[in-house]
Structure 1
Amino acid sequence: MKVVVLCGGLGTRLREETEFRPKPMVEIGGRPILWHIMKGYAASGFREFVLCLGYKGSAIKEYFLNYEAMNNDFTINLGRHSKLEFMNGHAEQDFQVTLADTGLNTMTGGRVKRIQKYITDDTFMMTYGDGVADVNIPKLLEFHKSHGKLATVTAVTPNSRFGIVDMSSEGKVMKFIEKPRTDGRANAGFFVLNRKVFDYISGDDCTFEREPMERLAADGQLMAYKHDGFFYAMDTYREYEFLNDLWAKGQAPWKVWQ
């Protein structure tokens, strides 16, 4: 089963890093966040990926083209009888990665539509290239199969960006909660989709989270998988620092692989 990862956005709110590289290549612990996402899926046995490239997509292509050399010792013979021999293996030796240029300004729905030709099974997975989570992928897939609808989105309860002050009419603070969980659920990605979803996407200017998901919901074809564990999207430099700090402390909940 293919896993589609949206990797083409501009990442404007993380300009400190994305001025020089696409957001999926921004590193956590010395590895691109894209690598962390792919390792999470691979831990559950899903190792076939389709990456939807856009902004600075060449950097992602170069990363995978040079992956073997950068993650192995190797011996190289130069000259007329050139030869390259890698000396040791790594955990990603069974990955299959399709890198698809889906346009610089294409919206999320348009990017998905453009890689339709690479989806050969009835069901595929999709997520964003900037969020890590400890979602139980097999349980997510089991949930999707159980309801028989076309689409499943993983829904999380997000933390508020601001502390909540519970106060009396006189201004006395009764309770303060820093970044509490808010009411309702938010789209965390980690979709499971039937290929019929492609019929809901109109073209390059189609935002997947708008018309396609709204129509799927209206048709009774969209279900939500509730995830109460860890999820964090890296949209700002503060979030970049937070994720790197968790990794440095050995407290990264999304690290579900050995």
Structure 2
Amino acid sequence: MSASSLETVILCGGMGTRLREETEFKPKPMVEIGGYPIIWHIMRHYRHYGSNRFILCLGYKGDIIRNYFLNYHLYTKDLQIDLETGNVESLMPTDNRVDWKVNLVETGQASLTGRRIYRALKYIQGDSFLVTYGDGVSDIDLDAVVSQHRRLGRLATVTAVHPSSRFGELGLDEDVVRSFQEKPQVKDGWINGGYMVFQRRAFDLMEPDENVTLEGGILERLASIGELAVYRHHGFWQCMDTFREMQLLNDLWASGRAPWAFSQTTPMNVPD
């Protein structure tokens, strides 16, 4: 099992209130880094490891994400428009195409992250699948995360990272998570960076009508029964919660040294 064999679920429904300068008008996954929505950067990372089947859990301003993907080829290609006939012709070579398959799933304006994934389960084909948030980038080796998940055989695996801010803190015992606390004061420097692998059975811990966060409703429960494994990532990881963090990511992209880009010189609509 590798990342290429799994579908990727991306949580795209939150309001992103701490980045209100941008998210008042668009959902956070559509906030741009270097002229491209951050969700494009995230999906390109997963495609680099072979995963090209995506399930996007929509909520707040989800129509903007729908519109982007419905008109993806218009947004990402040079075009010639004949104003007399209305014909639109692509000026890009026919072999310069992405091969992404994207499910756009409305999961509810008021749904929390756990419920969003639960509602998307009907579109997930396999017993294992990848999950990430729609607001952060990294140079994480996704095949290594999947390999760790397979080796340890738990119901879920999360990636632990070392940022300077606070998120869900992981209490680690070797390669198993023994406790999970949502956004406390970080004690030993490891926090939940997303980039997760789940077995479908992990969501048997939820009742069908429960509206819970992924962190508090699933990960805490899995940790309490010894079913949450961890992959430690020592490289680059950065979320985009604030305007300052958005500027940081844009500066990295503009420098040509964005760690998450893998091959930044590759045209945006060509698969790696």
TM-score range normalised by the length of the shorter chain: 0.7 to 0.9
Q: What TM-score results when the alignment is normalised by the length of structure 2? A: 0.82
Look up the match of 1:224: 230
Does structure 1 residue 88 correspond to structure 2 residue 96? no
CA distance in 1, matches of 2:29, 2:101: 18
Contact (CA 8 Å) 1:158, 1:182: kept in 2 or not? no
Measured after TM superposition, the shift of residue 58 of structure 1 is: 0.3
What does 1:16-35 align with in structure 2 at a 5 Å threshold?
A: 16-35=21-40
Contact (CA 8 Å) 1:156, 1:186: kept in 2 or not? yes
Does structure 1 residue 239 correspond to structure 2 residue 245? yes
Change (3 A) 1:17 1:135: same
Look up the match of 2:259: 253
Look up the match of 1:138: 143
Partner of residue 104 from structure 2, selected from 87, 96, 99 = 99
Look up the match of 1:183: 188
SS in 2 for 1:220: coil
The range that moved more, 139-148 or 64-73, is 64-73
CA distance in 2, matches of 1:152, 1:235: 23
What does 1:1-258 align with in structure 2 at a 5 Å threshold?
A: 1-74=6-79, 85-89=89-93, 92-160=97-165, 183-202=188-207, 203-257=209-263, 258=266
**Which amino acid counterpart does residue 235 of structure 1 have in structure 2?**
D
CA distance in 2, matches of 1:249, 1:16: 24
Provide, for residues 32-64 of structure 1, a one-character-per-residue CA deviation record: whole Å limited to 9, x for no partner.
000000000000111110000000000000001
The range that moved more, 48-57 or 69-78, is 69-78
Contact (CA 8 Å) 1:151, 1:197: kept in 2 or not? yes
Contact (CA 8 Å) 1:151, 1:192: kept in 2 or not? yes
Deviant stretches of 4+, over 3 Å = 73-79, 81-87, 89-92
Contact (CA 8 Å) 1:6, 1:111: kept in 2 or not? yes
**Which amino acid counterpart does residue 86 of structure 1 have in structure 2?**
S
Larger Rg: 1
Contact (CA 8 Å) 1:143, 1:225: kept in 2 or not? yes
SS in 1 for 2:147: helix
**Which amino acid counterpart does residue 231 of structure 1 have in structure 2?**
W
Change (3 A) 1:214 1:39: same
Measured after TM superposition, the shift of residue 254 of structure 1 is: 0.8
Change (3 A) 1:151 1:92: farther
Measured after TM superposition, the shift of residue 91 of structure 1 is: 5.4
Contact (CA 8 Å) 1:201, 1:208: kept in 2 or not? no
CA RMSD of aligned residues (A): 2.1
Look up the match of 1:170: none
SS in 2 for 1:228: coil
Look up the match of 1:178: none
The range that moved more, 64-73 or 89-98, is 89-98
Provide, for residues 178-207 of structure 1, a one-character-per-residue CA deviation record: whole Å limited to 9, x for no partner.
xxx972310010001111112122345211
Count of aligned residue pairs for this structure pair: 238
